[in-house]
Amino acid sequence: DPYADDPIRHPALKVNSQRPFNAEPPPELLTETYITPNPIFFTRNHLPVPNLDPDTYRLHIVGPPGRRPLSLSLDDLYKFPKHEITVTVQCAGNRRSEMSQVKEVRGLEWRTGAISTARWAGARLCDVLAKAGHQLHETEAHVCFEGLDSDPTGTAYGASIPLARAMDPEAEVLLAYEMNGQPLPRDHGFPVRVVVPGVVGARHVKWLGKVSVGPEESYSHWQRRDYKGFSPSVDWDSVDFDSSPSIQELPVQSAITEPKDGEMVEAGEVTVKGYAWSGGGRAVIRVDVSLDGGLTWQVAELDREEQRPRKAWAWRLWQLQAPVPPGKKELNIVCKAVDDSYNVQPDTVAPIWNLRGVLSNAWHRVHVRVAS
Ligand code: MTE
Ligand code: MO
């Protein structure tokens, strides 16, 4: 059993798949704290978790032609300036279960919890690439990452990002060795993972073994044959994965974490809580909440966490306390967020349905009954 050596996990996690391990925190824990505690941070593994020895660990950075590759130990990585930022990681499949209610999709049934936020610290990728001799060449347009996790045939997890993002100090791409002040937990990439702020989780390669620069995107299955969006009209017989770009920056997203669907709430006043986030460093500027399915709206209160212009890498938690209209027996609670490019979420799932169930960001809806 290649999974026999997987780490022990927190019992509060809702498990979507045991082997490989995939799990999300329950909604009420997800927004209890701004920073997600490591033990309940959502986990998305495609393969068994490797057990790496930090003393012999080496990260290979392939240099430009004619230059020797770098082989970096953990101590070598610690010598680069340490950079620390708060970043939200979201899987492209977050909220897929709502998409599969419209029509069957292939993928894990994530609810609203395939998203979490941590303080990440490590070396900036741009500093490490510069040390290896890389510059912004037009012919070498992508940075490919390879994990040290692999399937029985020896194929490793891999992904890539554009070189321009990797080389941009303002993009703050990290080779992270700390998560919330601790060494990375094994499930989250010990000893080193990539963190690509504002970009889909699939590019944040864990158990990082190799970084290379080349003219093409990664040839990994997960770069070329997965994590792409398609029209609702495309099915598994007609899909041409080469016709869509790989997902990088994610669209604006929000979800309600309290109350939960089907719950009974007290008459009088209701408290609605949730998260909102957008890709590419775009800040969430507003969250609208409706108690009547979208007929009337109220503006939620956002947390006071710092939002850096163009570098809003982390989510905003929000809440709304509102009177329950007298006589109401049920509430259809809806939320939708707006980012600083005034991007909005689509109101329903059907027009954005896609066969893989990715990019599920329609208005989030929760139906509750009112106690009488
Ligand atoms: N890196 C490796 N090596 N193997 C993986 O299976 N999964 C990716 C990414 N990095 C993965 C990986 C996906 S799809 C996501 S959403 C994030 O890791 C999840 O990161 P987390 O498990 O720390 O939340
Ligand atoms: Mo993912």
Report which secondary-structure segment, H or E, holds 256.
strand 253-258
**Where a domain ends, among 214, 243, 272?**
243
Q: How far, in Å, from the CA of 46 to the mean position of ligand 2?
A: 9
**Ligand nearest to the Cα of 203, by number:** 1
State whether the beta carbon of 89 lies less than 6 angstroms from ligand 1: yes
* Residue 178 lies inside a defined structural domain of this protein: yes
Q: Are 255 and 95 in contact (CB under 8 A)?
A: yes
What pLDDT is stored for residue 306 in this prediction?
93
Let me know whether 207 and 88 are in one domain: yes
pLDDT for 1:
92
Q: What integer is the mean pLDDT of 24-30?
A: 97
Q: Whose CA is nearest to atom 21 of ligand 1?
A: 43
Q: Strand, helix or coil at 90?
A: strand
Q: What are the tens digits of pLDDT across the range 134-185?
A: 998 777 799 999 999 999 999 999 999 999 999 999 999 999 999 999 999 9
Secondary structure (3-state) at 128: helix
Question: Which residues 6+ apart lie within 8 Å of 334 measured at CB?
Answer: 289, 290, 293, 294, 363, 364, 365, 366
Per-residue pLDDT of 257-301, as tens digits, reads 999 999 999 999 999 999 999 999 999 999 999 999 999 999 999
In the structure, how many helices (H) and strands (E) does the chain have? 6, 22
Q: Let me know if residue 112 belongs to a domain.
A: yes
**Between 138 and 79, residue with greater pLDDT:** 79
- The reply to whether ligand 1 has any atom less than 6 angstroms from the CB of 143 is no
Decide: 265 and 371 in contact? Cβ < 8 Å: yes
In a domain, 5, yes or no: no
Q: What is the pLDDT of residue 185?
A: 98
- Nearest C-alpha neighbor of 213 from the set 151, 83, 125: 125
Q: Are 46 and 177 found together in one domain?
A: yes
Per residue in 327-356, pLDDT (tens digit) is: 999 999 999 999 999 999 999 999 999 999
Name the H helices within 132-189. Answer: 163-167
User: Do residues 358 and 301 share a domain?
Assistant: yes
Q: Are 218 and 302 members of one domain?
A: no
Q: 25 alpha carbon to ligand 1 midpoint, in Å?
A: 16
The Å distance, Cα 259 to ligand 2 centre, comes to 26
Q: What is the model's pLDDT at position 155? A: 96
For residues 312 and 282, what is the distance between their CA atoms, to the nearest angstrom?
Answer: 6
**Structural domain harbouring 140:** 14-243
> 142 — phi, psi (to 5°)?
-135, 150
Residue 123: inside a domain, yes or no? Answer: yes
State the Cα–Cα distance between residues 350 and 329, nearest whole angstrom: 28
| The residue to which tokens 């995939």 are assigned | 22
pLDDT of 140: 76
Q: In sequence order, which residues have a C-beta less than 8 Å from that of residue 346 and are 6 or more positions away? A: 352, 361, 362, 363
Whether residues 213 and 158 fall in one domain: yes
Ligand 1 site, residue 370, Cβ cutoff 6 A: no
- Shared domain check, 78 and 37: yes
How confident is the model at residue 248, as a pLDDT? 98
Residue 89 sits in the same domain as residue 192: yes
Residues 119 and 192 in one domain: yes
Tokens describing residue 286: 């507003």
Q: Residue 138: CB partners within 8 Å, gap ≥ 6?
A: none
Q: What is the number of the ligand 1 atom nearest to the C-alpha of 46? A: 6
Edge-to-edge strands, sheet with 364-370: 264-265, 364-370, 330-339, 284-290, 298-299
Q: Where are the beta strands (DSSP E) in 74-218?
A: 82-90, 115-124, 142-150, 156-162, 174-179, 182-183, 193-195, 208-214
Same domain membership, residue 236 and residue 282: no
Does 321 reside within a domain?
yes
CA of 83 to the centre of ligand 2 (A): 24
Any ligand 1 atom below 6 A from CB of 204: yes
CATH code for the domain of 32: 3.90.420.10
Is the shortest distance between the CB of 207 and ligand 1 below 6 Å? yes
Segment 235-254, tens digit of pLDDT: 999 999 999 999 999 999 99
Question: For residue 358, what is the domain's CATH number?
Answer: 2.60.40.650
Contact of 211 with 159, CB cutoff 8 Å? no
Query: What is the reported pLDDT for 117?
Result: 98
Tell whether 105 and 237 lie within a shared domain.
Answer: yes
Whether residue 99 lies inside any domain: the answer is yes
Give domain status of residue 8, yes or no.
no
Pairing type for strands 330-339 and 82-90 reads unpaired
Partners of 84 in beta bridges: 121
Q: Which of 163, 186, 189, 162 is nearest to 176 (CA)?
A: 189
State the closest ligand 1 atom to the C-alpha of 93, by its place in the atom list counted from 1: 16
Among candidate residues 243, 275, 300, the one where a domain is terminated: 243
Do 160 and 45 fall into the same domain?
Answer: yes
Do residues 143 and 281 share a domain? no
pLDDT of residue 116: 99
- pLDDT at residue 372 in the model: 84
370 alpha carbon – ligand 2 mean position (Å): 36
| pLDDT of the residue at 134 | 93
Q: Is the CB of 46 under 6 A from ligand 1?
A: yes
Does residue 171 belong to any structural domain of this protein? yes
Report how many domains make up the chain. Answer: 2
- The interface pTM score, or ipTM, of the predicted complex is 1.00
- pLDDT at site 85: 98
Mean pLDDT across the chain? 97
| Residue 96 CB less than 6 A away from ligand 1 | no
Could you tell me if the CB of 188 is within 6 A of ligand 1? yes
Among residues 184, 208, 243, which one ends one of the domains?
243
